[in-house]
């Protein structure tokens, strides 16, 4: 994690790993969502910033968790500036951290069941 905190730019493969998405999904979202425009380096490779990654996570949440259509997610991002600002101010959470949180939740549920059985 310390390496990630020192980085300023991330490759598309690293962002795919961090977010649990495939690279082709990220490229497709770049074409669909004007808000998502990672820079390209001299070699033409995408260079994602932490802000770009947060936008990816926001789009992922809208599409996968809140079940927006692509058009609906575009409209939400276009019209609700407060929503975007609030989401971008949150800390960056990677897939590893999400898995860790899910494991903690699972363990807590098991403990609750054990307590109920007493």
pLDDT of residue 51 exceeding 60, the answer is: yes
pLDDT of residue 4 exceeding 50, the answer is: no
Q: Is residue 50 part of a domain?
A: yes
Q: Is residue 15 part of a domain?
A: yes
Q: Is residue 13 part of a domain?
A: yes
Domain count, the chain: 1
Plot region of 44 (φ>0 → left; ψ -120 to 50 → alpha; else → beta) = left
Widest distance between CA atoms in the chain: 64
Indicate which CATH number applies to the domain containing 81: 1.10.1660.10
Residue numbers of the domain that contains 58: 2-92
Q: Is residue 98 part of a domain?
A: no
Residue 107, Cβ neighbours under 10 Å: how many? 10
Q: How far apart are CA 13 and CA 28, in angstroms?
A: 14
Least confident residue range of 18-22, 52-56, 72-76, 89-93: 89-93
Please compute the mean of the pLDDT values over residues 73-83 and round it to a whole number: 84
Residues 94-105: pLDDT tens digits?
656 666 777 788
């Amino acid at each position: 994690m310390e390496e990630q905190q020192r980085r300023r730019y991330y490759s598309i493969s690293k962002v795919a790993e961090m977010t649990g998405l495939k690279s082709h999904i990220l490229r497709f979202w770049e074409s669909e969502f004007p808000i998502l425009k990672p820079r390209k380096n001299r070699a033409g490779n995408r260079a994602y910033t932490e802000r770009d990654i947060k936008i990816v996570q926001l789009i992922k949440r809208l599409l996968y968790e809140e079940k927006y259509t692509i058009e609906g997610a575009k409209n939400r991002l276009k019209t609700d500036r407060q929503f975007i600002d609030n989401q971008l101010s949150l800390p960056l959470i990677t897939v590893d951290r999400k898995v860790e949180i899910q494991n903690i939740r699972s363990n807590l549920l098991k403990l609750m069941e054990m307590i109920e059985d007493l």
